[in-house]
Chains A and B, each alone.
Chain A
């Protein structure tokens, strides 16, 4: 549905996108993950026909975004980062206007149906200016859905929503993603993990990793971290743990806890437990600290990003 090949975009002298390539298939939710200014919005704006790329080719639903821009725009629903709403129109007027712009017959009926879809029928005749952030976000989504597009491009769809609204928005997007192509951007990792079939991590205009959220996690987690806690005096505990073969980066943390790391392949927890008890400590807790997608992300997008944690 979306094919991107060697896309490059320069803003004056600054290169915002460096030769990026990816694709997205029908029925797939692809997440664009990256810090602010990484090039997510730029890529989306190119794919929606808002701006042409400096170099490279992108096709959406089989149409070239530059040569057949109008055809692409007919097939894409787009929710920009700043939700584009006319605050002096009512919800129904606004959606009817968007439906008319897209040449939908019976635009008023369609506008009403779409309002139903995003749960705003009770506010159909209220001015958008009076809407809360969550409702505005839903209006933005309604606008993107009004022509039932094959491809949906959502720039930070859950930003600024409260936790309940985030869950609701995610469910709506997942529902849509069942039979259509969704490309969404976020800088919240749990969101990408939760919603996306595939994640593209983008940083400084380059794609630095691409995989399913689970694969990304297991591929990049080379070591296991464990937190160890004892009752009472913990002096010398770090030395005891260090003596166990395979224990690395042993750190004393406040609150009588020690954090250490070992390679995923060889589990040294039993040996550590034995050593600690033999040294006379009262072991009360030992739990793994999963290296979250958050940390992987920070690793990958660090200035001197090494491919793996090394210590």
Chain B
């Protein structure tokens, strides 16, 4: 556990000296800020026509989860591929650290970075809460954010695992992006076309179905949690096996 923390801490610190991490943070926060501002503007303009409708947190969490599809690969691509390319992987693989601890530490470091960005966006529910009487529905905010964190965790775990398969960062980036596009978007098509158990399977794989109409609406299903935790486990397992394979090659 201490090893995981040591590696995570180094990785977290590293994000603050890489331009790509700042670009990702800027892109996410800027986009969300613009969307939130225009949504508020639109809502105030139209509040007379639609009395009784209340703004919620979805203009913040919705774009955020979508932006994760595009930006999480940029945060995870170098995690292990760069160590392999620079030769520092040899350092870590001959240190008294288990392969799983290495992967888990890398994932946790990326996770802490995303959580830092997530924490910044908490100003929006607070702003909303001051606008609305009698206040915002905090339970929906909480589950939306829980979903956001679980999606980030799943993406970053898969990205960490994929990064361990490559020595080239760009290759890792695109392999990760394709995986996310598949899970977030493509998998929805067969789910709509097929019927029976095939459709059920694709529907279960579809990440959107475990967020929209579920966590984003204040509903916590055990099956959704199992889905996210399975993806995290799969990502970390892939990474551990990939590192193990490097030893045997």
Q: Which residues of A contact B (CB under 8 A)?
A: 11, 45, 48-52, 70, 73-74, 76, 78, 80, 82-86, 88, 97-98, 100-103, 143
Contact = CB atoms under 8 A, between A and B. Distances in A.
Given A80-B94, A82-B87, 4 more contacts: A48-B94, A51-B248, A86-B88, A101-B97
Interface string B3-45: 1001100100010010000000000000000000000000000
Interface in B222-249: 247-249
Say whether chain B's binding surface is mostly helix, strand, loop, or mixed.
helix
B91 A102 contact: no
B90 interface: yes
Interface string B60-95: 000000000000000000000000001111111111
B96 interface: yes
A292 B124 CA distance: 77
Interface of B: 2-3, 6-7, 10, 14, 17, 86-98, 247-249
A70 B10 contact: no
A86 B86 CA distance: 8
B94 A101 contact: no
Contacts, number: 56
A100 B90 contact: no
B90 A50 contact: yes
B93 A80 contact: no
A52 B88 contact: no
A73 B93 CA distance: 9
16 contacts: A50-B90, A50-B93, A50-B247, A51-B248, A52-B247, A76-B94, A78-B94, A80-B87, A80-B90, A80-B91, A84-B89, A86-B86, A88-B14, A101-B6, A102-B95, A103-B2
Nearest to B2: A103
A82 B84 CA distance: 12
A50 to B, nearest CB: 5
- The 8 tightest CB contacts between A and B, nearest first, are A84-B91, A82-B87, A84-B88, A48-B94, A100-B6, A73-B96, A74-B96, A51-B247
B151 to A, nearest CB: 29
B61 to A, nearest CB: 33
Contact of A84 (B86, B98, B249): B86
A48 B95 CA distance: 9
A39 B88 CA distance: 21
Given A84-B86, A85-B88, A70 B94 contact: no
Contacts of A103: 2, 96
Contacts of A70: 96, 98
B62 to A, nearest CB: 35
Nearest to B86: A84
A76 B87 CA distance: 18
A143 B87 CA distance: 14
Contacts of B92: 101
Nearest to A147: B96
A84 B95 CA distance: 12
A95 to B, nearest CB: 12
B90 to A, nearest CB: 5
Contacts of B247: 50-52
A51 B245 CA distance: 10
Contacts of A101: 3, 6-7, 92, 95-97
A88 B87 contact: no
Given A82-B87, A84-B86, A100-B6, A52 B248 contact: yes
A85 B7 CA distance: 15
Contacts of B10: 97
Given A86-B88, A101-B6, A50 B94 contact: yes
A82 B96 CA distance: 20
Contacts of B3: 101
A102 B6 CA distance: 10
A100 B2 CA distance: 9
A84 B98 CA distance: 19
Contacts of B91: 80, 84, 98, 143
A97 B6 contact: yes
Contacts of B95: 73, 98, 101-102
A285 B58 CA distance: 96
Contacts of B248: 51-52
A67 to B, nearest CB: 15
Nearest to A100: B6
Question: Chain A CB within 10 Å — which of B92, B96, B248 has the most?
Answer: B96
A13 to B, nearest CB: 13
Contacts of B96: 70, 73-74, 101-103
Contact of B94 (A49, A82, A86, A88): A49
A202 B131 CA distance: 78
Contacts of B17: 88
A78 B2 CA distance: 22
Nearest to A140: B91
Nearest to B88: A84
A86 to B, nearest CB: 6
Contacts of A73: 94-96
